[in-house]
Amino acid sequence: MMEWYQILSYFLTNGIRGFAGLYLVCALLLGRKDVPRMGALSAGTAAVITALLVCPVSDAGVIGAEILLLAVGVRMLVPRDQIRMSLFILFFYEIAAALWEFIISCVFAIAFRVGYLARQCVSHQAMDAFWPCLTGQESAGVPGGYAEYLTGQGGFLLPEDQLWLRFLDTGAPEHLLAVWTVRLFMLVFLALHLAGNRTSERSASRHCRGRETRGSGGGDVFRGASVIAVAGMICVVTLGSQTVISLPEDELGMWNLFSVILMFSVLIFQLNRHYEAEKEIARLKAEQAELLDRDYQSLNRLYSEHARLFHDLHNHIELLHRHLTRGNVDDAVQYLEDLRGPVREITRAVWTGDEAVDYLIGNKAADAEEQQIAAEVSMEFPRHTNIRSADLTAILGNLLDNALEAAKQAEGNLRFIHLTVRRINDMLVIKVENGCNTAPVSKDGQLLTTKTDGGLHGWGLKSVRAAAEKYDGIVETGYVENVFRAVVTLSFEAVNTGQMKE
């Protein structure tokens, strides 16, 4: 029967282990952490696991139950498509936790054994025998008695020089020292990572107030996990070569195997992450190409219409001359009124120095006017920068498309779009605001499309982020009082006027 302090200790240690596991999954897969919900889920899991430990349940059963409960908790934290990878991470996280508990318990057992031998040598004034005690057969432990003691068979009573075995007994209070050492390490790791995230957020907020950044927390956690896996394998190999305490060959072989599997799991996760990133890039490129092709077709049609207008200019001039020479002033004025509309569309294009961007903005403004949406453009665009035309078109095209879609469904004075482009030192700030009837729908921190015709909808902001990241960009979205705002901040560099932007 466990003592009360053991039950309390197991509840706390299981809670910490569960929280660290959920944190690891969210940090690696999502890059964000819902700390309150993770705390509640880990506390519930710890209560159930502690109850199982009080009952006569095997260690394998307890670990299996913990993985199952954490998997249920993960389902509430990550999207459905990340469940399998979450289970993969949790399974190997449990192996890593058990591996390090074994390593630390062996370290304490070795320290206890060394201390005992040192005391014996001092008491017998035989320090010259200390090293032979550590490396000789007399330090090998209890021959044939290790397994019997750990399984509770044979009514084993340990002599004083074999009390180190209790550090390896998961049911003994001495083993809690190793468990708490591992948990304290987890707490320190979590505290440092959370503190690092807060420092990064404060630093980002000082440079870009109110903007959300996608932190590199997942990369930090992965590097930490890689170091832990490598260190675990090195420690297990070292334990196999030491002679201070004797460990069964089958147990050492098992932990050696687990440490190698753990190393391979880290490698597999990294390969899978690269594969998913490449798929994401391929999808974004396909979506960007389709959007650019669509905008190109629209701009080409607009250009053709304008080209026809200029091509027929001599005919218009000839007809106006005929009206005026014959004194038909009213007919000439009416003819000029008919020409003002197309000419106004040409001359109102916003000049950025990039023809594709100018045509794009003009085309979107024409679409807004056609749908009776008030469009306002304020432009302060720097000349001769390293920002590629394709990237700028992808950013503006996606933002304006999303704004048009939302404003089209709005009513009254909410049917508006405001595009503002400003240069602040070496930063280009692009802000698109639009009215909307309802707040945008989000899931797992990602905005969801309201369109129902499938296709590539929903990839707009991802494409914007992919283009912005090329220029160390930041993407912020916000909704306040029926106004949706998207802000993209890009870092640019001046280029030689002789160079051509792609």
pLDDT in tens, 36-74: 888 888 888 888 888 877 776 666 777 777 778 877 877
Residue at 312 is within a domain? no
Are 124 and 249 members of one domain? Answer: yes
Are 18 and 153 members of one domain? Answer: yes
Closest by Cα among 46, 41, 42 to 62: 46
Q: Which of 267, 282, 297 is the last residue of a domain?
A: 282
Phi-psi region of 141 (alpha: psi -120 to 50; beta: other; left: phi over 0): left
Q: Which of 222, 254, 282 is the last residue of a domain?
A: 282
Distance CA 473, CA 465 (A): 8
Q: Let me know: does 290 contact 397? Beta carbons within 8 Å.
A: no
Neighbours of 65 (CB within 10 A): 16
| 420: β partners | 378, 431
Q: Regarding beta strands 374-379 and 446-447, do their DSSP bridges make them parallel or antiparallel, or are they unpaired?
A: unpaired
Task: Average the pLDDT over 340-367 and give the result.
Answer: 68
Q: What is the pLDDT of residue 274?
A: 84
Q: What is the pLDDT of residue 143?
A: 42
Q: Which of 265, 282, 299 is the last residue of a domain?
A: 282
Q: Which two tokens stand for residue 193?
A: 């990572």
Q: How many domains, in total, are found in the chain?
A: 2
Distance CA 201, CA 184 (A): 26
Are 272 and 389 members of one domain? Answer: no
Residue at 103 is within a domain? yes
Closest by Cα among 379, 494, 391, 373 to 431: 379
Q: Which residues contact 60 (CB under 8 A, 6 or more apart)?
A: none
Q: Where are the beta strands (DSSP E) in 353-502?
A: 374-379, 416-424, 427-435, 442-443, 446-447, 474-480, 483-491
pLDDT digits (tens, 9 = 90+) for 423-457: 888 888 899 999 888 777 665 445 554 543 333 33
Distance CA 281, CA 302 (A): 31
Residue at 314 is within a domain? no
Are 252 and 356 members of one domain? Answer: no
Would you call 378 helix, strand, or coil by DSSP? strand
Task: Average the pLDDT over 370-390 and give the result.
Answer: 83
How far is CA 411 from each of CA 211, 278, 415, rounded to the nearest angstrom?
29, 41, 6
Are 28 and 168 members of one domain? Answer: yes
Are 361 and 269 members of one domain? Answer: no
Residue at 287 is within a domain? no
Are 117 and 211 members of one domain? Answer: yes
Q: Let me know: does 376 contact 419? Beta carbons within 8 Å.
A: yes
Are 187 and 102 members of one domain? Answer: yes
Residue 461: which CATH number?
3.30.565.10
pLDDT digits (tens, 9 = 90+) for 223-276: 888 888 899 999 999 988 887 888 888 888 899 999 999 989 888 888 888 888
Residue at 325 is within a domain? no
Q: The domain containing residue 468 runs over which residues?
A: 350-502
Are 365 and 275 members of one domain? Answer: no
